[in-house]
Structure 1
Amino acid sequence: MSGLQRVLVANRGEIAVRIIRACHVAGVEAVAVYSDADEKSRWVRMADDAVHIGRSAAQKSYLDPDALLKAARTAEVDAVHPGYGFLSESGAFARAIEEAGLVFIGPRPAVLEKMGDKAAARSAAVSAGVPVVPGTDPIADPEDVPRLAAEIGFPLLLKAAAGGGGRGIRPVRTVEELLDVLPTAQAEARSAFGDPAIYLERAVPQARHVEVQVLADEHGDVVHLFERDCSVQRRRQKLIEEAPAPGLREETRQAITSAAVRLAEHVGYRGAGTVEFLVDGEGGFYFIEMNARVQVEHPITEMITGVDVVAEQLRIAGGERLSLDQGSIERRGAAVELRINAEDPERDFAPTPGEISVLRLPGGPGVRVDTGITQGDRISPFYDSLIAKLICWGEDREQAYARARQALSEFHVEGVASTAGLHRELTSDPELTAGPVHTTWLEQRHG
């Protein structure tokens, strides 16, 4: 199926397990990497080979490009899959992989750099004829801020140009508030992203977060796999995702998916990617960013289309054409994904690292569980706190949520606190199940 022979999985946790599975199905050998904390991890046991890459801290292992390059050479792989997070959207890492004579399973370095810079990505969207939220380019002179803010109109968002994943964003409602937080925002942008550049963007009240999954090969073929709704968020971090987006008008669906394909074609995209939009109450939509990698929530797209997104990544990286065209992609049913984290909602979602003493996972028709842990493993304080993703499919949205509630009733974890209880509450909330909701719904309703 794939032109690749041996792939280094430069990541950890559930996405490492996911990639290793896809490699094995495609007849490709998979090599895991691991830090001190992950030596006995599930993905290491699953892989054909494994290479130690450093100490437990991410900066000393999974975020160390030299350690990963050394591992790739040691394991004699012909490609590197970065998964999501860590170095997955680093143009410098992708370039180093290619300069080493290996295949980076993702976009070309130049495209990663362009789409990783929010201002450059915004400019690309404008050039491609994709609607964007009214806003500015990166601001060179702070004295221009009051004038630019007045032209856009309040409320607005102060954004780090190099930010992503919901980070580097500050809502402001007055020019006085904007001027007050501007120096801090620039300093935080420099510290978090290595770039102090900021820009302004109008806030879209009660907007929905809708994103489109795209696939693009080396031969110029680009398709979409419909859309996902990721509006159930806490502090811009997604908790529940579903596909398709509930209540989206068909004309909006067609327009938003076409816009995503158009942008991918315009920038010469390669691989799997997600184009993210805000959708207002009138059906208008606005580009916000492009995630140039596989997404955490890709399984719900797989559930409604039957397309293996990671398998297509491997095909594309091997130089092959996509296994499908737009006309052959059909949408069936509905799916919802619940992210169960080792966090305590009663303590402001503080992480609760520790040993998983008991873990019972659900099953049944339409139920999929993606996890990188087994009973007896530890949730490490060094990385994200994800325990498992519960993905539930149904013939319609009502059945998908019913299966989600049943899956949650079967899910049981001991040793750490988890967000499972919150998900039980949310999936029974009549406002959510009636849908759709907006991105601030959870904070307004549940605090």
Structure 2
Amino acid sequence: MARILISQQEIQAASEEYGTPLYLYNLNKISRQYSKLRDYLPPNFNILYTLKANSNLTICHRLAQLGCGADISSTGELKAALKTGFSAPQIVFTGPGKTNSELAAAIEAGIGIIVLESINEARRLNNLAQKYGKKQDVLIRINPLYRTNQSCEIREKASSCGANDTNSVQPSLTIQTIASSSSKFGVDENKAIEEIAAINSLENLNLKGIHIFTESNVLDYQQLLASWTNTISIANKINDQGYHISLLDFGGGIGIPYNTVDPEFDMESFGKELQRIFENNPYSYHCIVEIGRYLVGEAGCYITEVVDIKESLGQKFIILDGGVHQLLRLSMKPASKYMEVLGKNGNYTQKATLGGKLPTPLDIMVEDVMVPEDIEIGDRLVIYNCGAYGFNHSLTNFALHNYPAEVAYSDGEMELIREPGKIEDFFLNQKLPFATNLEKELITSI
């Protein structure tokens, strides 16, 4: 069942050694996923790792060693990328709301590309680049007029972004007009030429190309191909109008299954069709992909222990020592059905709700999941495909429960890569007028 490629026995051993709740990552799986991308994407592509998916330093270091660049969205992620071995010229800074201090840090570090979200951001960056005596390479993010009807922002309005709603892949989709496709990201396609002209007038910016990212966790490669083909078409139109661009950032979108039914993304077919498109395109482009989920999602699992079993109005609840403070999936709750109870290989015939230990009704990890009839207190559950958007997306400070440990598996060996949290961690940087050593006083009083 587990695409993580670690046996139940090894997962059980890790949970016994390091306790629960626990994140466990297979670094070998990460290497395999990177190899598939490198083998099948056309040679004009560079692969960037998206740190927002999982910024654990060991995982980042592995991907830097493999040859990835980095996609960052904050000064914290910039420092993590540099610390773990990503070279500054291979770092791209994306995302809205960049402050002047963040832009200045990026310029000082010498990162390769900054993706602009507006003409106002462009002017601020130009002033900073002038101050530092540099000419900064940039892309402009475009909010396309056309997108598939399963694109991320459209699906997000229906609370299903990044998750598959059924057990089967959506049929091949063509680009469709979406009239209400307003977005906080980038500039609208119908204003792109105007914005590009304005950016070209700024002396300390060098506009290299465009960034378009609308799809999330796509399993049907033809859907993603339709979206990326649209991006190429937009770039061609910009070149047709005399604005020379040579770099395309497609964002991400390559998905992973969150169950045992859906097939994997057909990377080989996707790569072959992309290659045909570029071979027949009137303009040559260098390309970037920002990949997080595909690289690390299937490599990780979350292990948690049953601490109580109860019923309410005929509904069975399994209460866990974990919860949404450590694995918050919001619109991806059904993904947590991809789970097993360690050591219980019988029929999963009993329907239950998995709830965490937080004092809020919001702490429901998944509803209507099938569990074994003989599940009992002390059993350990493993939820698969938590390597991306797990630890990083959680409500870690809710109720001040300790952070989970993180463990890496590589070539049969386990290694602790993040210590489990301590109670005193929550009081770092807080001030209490009458306490000279707040952390020590709080801990010794317990």
What TM-score, normalized to structure 2? 0.27
Query: Between Structure 1 and Structure 2, whose CA radius of gyration is higher?
Result: 2
What TM-score, normalized to structure 1? 0.27
